[in-house]
Structure 1
């Protein structure tokens, strides 16, 4: 009997140690949870008309131009923003900027055929946006060739332009010298098109611009909308937002 009691006491002591009770030991791991088989209550993906699959009717007003080329106007306010993407780019890569601005501006993004001239289309889109109820002025935003041609487009639109934002542009010195609206250039130092050298030339030439701001990301070769998907995206978006806030009027 004494032997049986001793064995039982030994087993009970082991059980107490295994439970972690009073010893400081971690509790034994619990069994893994069984995955839920219930149907997700998340909102189903949007259906109906869209722009390149990444803008839908709940993002704004979808329109068509030049036959079947789509665009969208989102947001509200008396100041508009027209975004012209880079060659071989898409509207989807500019979604971070659209989302940042749409709460305070009327933002237009549009697809573009390879045959269309970015300058002509940017002017047409700005004029379209200026016909929207309440829109009085517009910012022209572009990437790469869209940035380069935003300056001559601004010259054609005149006093209706609030400012130009050029990401990785190669703006000619002659054109930059004629600009009389605020200019913000953003690019990365080692970019082959719109790198530090290109940006500096346009910056030095834009002596008539009432605000002539330059942001160069050192040690990078990020081009146009790639800046919006990089570790520098927050700085780029903040810089654009602050520039527009100063000049929206």
Structure 2
């Protein structure tokens, strides 16, 4: 038995080296980004190739965030809409309505973040400014709405023309929208569905505390939360509100 141990060991070593070499090549190949990886599970390959990118929102907001940008259908959009998702969500929450906004003349930018969303909004504004956008509308769902309301109070690379808050709590972690709305005069649209507790009550509380110009509150029937409100009746109202306060033409 001792006579065959060495050849077998050598053969095993050779196979191991071959496998390691092959594995190294596969690792290098897998490290290169592929169009499929950029779809995030909700975009087409063509959309991903044109608009998927990594957003750097810094230490607090997160680096290398999944993000997607699309210009208006006509091109050269002057107003951009930044979408912020709800807790444990992603940019894909907004994919069903991208077409509606780009057809209306807006550029859209959505990102996925579990960090400080206000920093993600700021980084998104920088990106849109680089694309020629001159004004913003912020649309956020739940914690993304809370973040959007707070972001409207902070310094922004571009002027924020309107904010849409969908099913937003007045406070999320360190973000206090209930305090922010007491000083932000940017036109703000508050919405929730009546069976979505406590967020319908939160929407009314935020609306009552808000000093925004032409603020509006809409409580829709149903129990949906966040982004689904747009497909459940809110989209025409939101588009009309933006057309008035953050028109696509700038």
State whether residues 178 and 206 of structure 2, in contact with CA within 8 Å, keep that contact through their aligned partners in structure 1: yes
Kindly indicate whether residue 165 of structure 2 is the aligned counterpart of residue 181 of structure 1: no
Kindly indicate whether residue 121 of structure 2 is the aligned counterpart of residue 125 of structure 1: no
Kindly indicate whether residue 224 of structure 2 is the aligned counterpart of residue 212 of structure 1: no
Alignment counterpart, residue 66 of structure 2, candidates 64, 67, 70: 70
| Counterpart secondary structure, 1:224 | coil
Cα pair distance change 1:129/1:52, threshold 3 Å: same
Give the TM-score normalised by structure 1: 0.71
State whether residues 138 and 163 of structure 2, in contact with CA within 8 Å, keep that contact through their aligned partners in structure 1: yes
Match in the other structure for 1:143: 141
Match in the other structure for 2:107: 106
Q: How many Å separate the matches in 2 of 1:222 and 1:128?
A: 31
Which sections of structure 1, spanning at least 5 residues, go unmatched? 1-46
State whether residues 229 and 235 of structure 2, in contact with CA within 8 Å, keep that contact through their aligned partners in structure 1: no
Q: How many Å separate the matches in 1 of 2:236 and 2:155?
A: 26
RMSD between aligned residues: 2.1
**Greater Cα shift, 141-150 or 83-92:** 83-92
State whether residues 55 and 72 of structure 1, in contact with CA within 8 Å, keep that contact through their aligned partners in structure 2: no
Q: How many Å separate the matches in 2 of 1:129 and 1:61?
A: 12
Which sections of structure 2, spanning at least 5 residues, go unmatched? 1-34, 57-62, 171-176
Match in the other structure for 1:223: 225
Q: How many Å separate the matches in 2 of 1:169 and 1:90?
A: 16
Match in the other structure for 1:162: 161
Match in the other structure for 1:201: 205
State whether residues 162 and 182 of structure 1, in contact with CA within 8 Å, keep that contact through their aligned partners in structure 2: yes
* Aligned-residue offset at 1:193: 4.2
**Greater Cα shift, 70-79 or 123-132:** 123-132
Q: Deviations over 1:175-232 (max 9, x none)?
A: 111111110111111223421x21111111112x1120111013x2211023245xxx
Structure of higher RCO (CA pairs closer than 8 Å, 6+ residues apart): 2
Cα pair distance change 1:193/1:142, threshold 3 Å: farther
Q: How many Å separate the matches in 1 of 2:244 and 2:96?
A: 20
Give the TM-score normalised by structure 2: 0.71
The count of aligned residue pairs is: 194
Match in the other structure for 1:61: 51
- Larger C-alpha radius of gyration, 1 or 2? 1
* Aligned-residue offset at 1:121: 1.5
State whether residues 143 and 224 of structure 1, in contact with CA within 8 Å, keep that contact through their aligned partners in structure 2: yes
State whether residues 111 and 120 of structure 2, in contact with CA within 8 Å, keep that contact through their aligned partners in structure 1: no
Match in the other structure for 2:8: none
Cα pair distance change 1:117/1:98, threshold 3 Å: same
